[in-house]
Amino acid sequence: MEILVCVKRVPDTAENEFELNSDGNDLDRDDLVYSVNEWDNYAVEEAIQIVDDKGGNVTVVTVGDDESEEVLRREMAMGANNGVLLSDDAFEGADGKGIAGILKAEIESGKYDLILTGAQADEGAGQVGGMLAAMLDLPYASLVNKIEVIDDSKISVGREIEGGNQEMNEIELPCVLSIQTGINEPRYVGIRGIRKVASVEIPVKGASDLGVDPAVVGADGAKTKRVDYFVPELGDGAEMLEGSTEEIIEKLIEKLKAKGGL
């Protein structure tokens, strides 16, 4: 099976405290720690497991700048066979549809049985997989937490639905799936693994290589635009307990007693 996994380099929510810049309209990006989107690791792991079992290749692709190459290498260290970086100044300001349009061009230049994305990334939209499927006229399933290959033409997929229930479907190949966390246990990647793929050539393709029109996939074609970032004033927020740990614990115990927590 030939599997393509779309991945993204994102600010790591576990490693950063997000602050606005001095103008208050963007994140202060100077010291942000980036990593591969959490959901994408599950997608790559799933692809590797399918290929280990059924044969084929895993290709990882991302739309991004030069620095995005590092996430491709990380996923190749996990076991993906190939990486492709789609990069062009003209892609800047692309919205979800722009990104999907760029990926579509790359997908059409190859032949894939299965296309995976993470269920969502840093923006929390969860949009690229579904858009890609619609653009390619392929069947789609989101939030997939189980995959079983039935034969060359169809697979069984479980989708996570509300309350932890699972919706089982049969879906024809080729198809697009967005992968939910928990579907597997992504393997650990050590420094050694990264070193092994450090010198592997990763092709870079721009708008003209892909034959996409920057006026459609770039900022000019974007119907959805982020205006600014801000921190909302949400009610009063929590009453923050301050002082030494001992003092805090004393105050907390009083409150817990009053509220029935003790």
Ligand X SMILES: Cc1cc2nc3c(=O)[nH]c(=O)nc-3n(C[C@H](O)[C@H](O)[C@H](O)COP(=O)(O)OP(=O)(O)OC[C@H]3O[C@@H](n4cnc5c(N)ncnc54)[C@H](O)[C@@H]3O)c2cc1C
- DSSP-derived secondary structure for 136-193: HT--EEEEEEEEEE-SSSEEEEEEE-GGG-EEEEEEESSEEEEEPTTSS-PPP--HHH
x/- site string to other proteins, residues 61 to 100, per CB under 8 A?
----------------------------------xxx--x
Spatial distance between the Cα atoms of 194 and 27, rounded to a whole number of angstroms = 29
Evaluate whether 98 touches 91 at the Cβ level (below 8 Å): yes
Burial degree of 12 (CB within 10 A; 0-12, 13-18, 19+): middle
**Residues in 180-199 that interact with other proteins by CB under 8 A:** 181-182, 185
Binding of residue 171 to other proteins (CB under 8 A) = yes
Binding of residue 109 to other proteins (CB under 8 A) = no
Binding of residue 108 to other proteins (CB under 8 A) = no
Residue 144 Cβ, how far from ligand X at the closest point, in Å?
11
Tokens at 191, concatenated: 């420094």
User: Could you tell me which stretch among 52-60, 62-70, 187-195, 234-242 binds other proteins (CB under 8 A)?
Assistant: 234-242
Residue 77 Cβ, how far from other proteins at the closest point, in Å?
21
Partner from ligand X, other proteins, none binding residue 110, C-beta < 5-8 Å depending on class? none
Q: Name the packing angle between helices 69-78 and 38-54 (round to 10°).
A: 40
Q: Nearest to residue 98, comparing CAs of 118, 125, 68, 76?
A: 125
| CB closer to ligand X out of 146 and 154 | 146
Binding of residue 240 to other proteins (CB under 8 A) = yes
Spatial distance between the Cα atoms of 141 and 249, rounded to a whole number of angstroms = 48
- Number of residues located near other proteins, criterion CB under 8 A: 84
Among 98, 118, 130, 214, binds other proteins (CB under 8 A): 130
Binding of residue 10 to ligand X (CB under 6 A) = no
Q: Give the footprint of ligand X on this chain (CB under 6 A).
A: 13-14, 119-120, 143
